[in-house]
Amino acid sequence: MSQWVYGFHAVETLLKQGASLQRVWLPRGRLNARQQKLEALASKAGVSIERVARDAFERFEGVHQHVAAQLSDASQVPHFGEADLPELIEAAESPLLVFLDGVQDPHNLGAILRTADATDVTAVIIPRHQAVGITPVVRKVACGAAETIPVIAVNNLARTMDRVKALGVWLIGLAGETDQLLYQQDLRAPIGLVLGAEGSGLRRLTRQQCDFICALPMEGSVESLNVSVAAGVALYEALRQRKYS
């Protein structure tokens, strides 16, 4: 089944990767500089360009920038499965994984993928059920990162965490009910950061698989951060320790 991707960065990344696209939509009338750049990329790639009325883009949720592309059924967007995890971990100098325990909001997942791309994450692992997958909204918010970061959907997150630990990866769960701060944890080793769903946090079985439970410092009156913000703070602390300390 074909799928639409929208937003400048997401469509640009697909074109640069040589993904199989049925067509690219651009608005009728005068194009801005970014749209002209995309038109040139699509033309060079031999992808059909359709100029459509601006209200045609209203079918897409959020900020679409009047740019959209339809993936073909045979799209070559990289696909990763659980069987690829050992190879991905072995290939990384010091693997940095992200486990998301039932994140529901596509904006949160998209934002996490964007940060994961910026902080050299090896792979993001999500549950196949009762969690958001890679949707057009996720691709839009991720600004191309949904096409660059391996996202692996698994049937049983806790079981996958156990298998990853057997490969030498230490798992660090983020939760507020601990005195151990993430900043006190050595994040230079092969690690997997484990974040819970919006509101409910880490489930019991997921928490039990973690080697450490760490918190982010909270100096104000609120008790927790949005999951994508928490992921950003944690991933940049990992990057700081690994490359800037």
Each residue of 68-98: pLDDT tens digit? 888 875 444 557 889 999 999 999 999 999 9
- Counts for the chain of helices (H) and strands (E), in that order: 8, 10
**SS3 for 6?**
strand
Check residues 69 and 193 and name the one with the higher pLDDT: 193
Neighbours of 167 (CB within 10 A): 12
Q: 5 to each of 116, 146, 173, how far by Cα in Å?
A: 20, 11, 32
- Residue 188: pLDDT band by 50, 70, 90 thresholds? very high
- Burial of residue 91 (number of CB atoms within 10 Å: 0-12, 13-18, 19+): exposed
Q: Is the pLDDT of residue 8 over 90?
A: no
Q: What average pLDDT does the chain have? A: 90
Model confidence at 2: pLDDT above 80: no
Write phi, then psi, for 187 (nearest 5 degrees).
-105, 15
Rg (CA), the chain: 19
Q: Domain extents for the chain?
A: 3-71, 82-243
Reply yes or no on domain 82-243 having CATH 3.40.1280.10: yes
Overall average pLDDT of the 159-173 stretch: 97
- pLDDT over threshold 70, residue 147: yes
Burial of 101 (0-12, 13-18, 19+ CB in 10 A): buried
pLDDT greater at residue 85 or residue 64: 85
pLDDT at 236 (0 to 100): 98
Q: What would the CATH number be for the domain defined by 3-71? A: 3.30.1330.30
Q: Which amino acid is at 241?
A: Q
**Residue 5: pLDDT band with limits 50, 70, 90:** confident
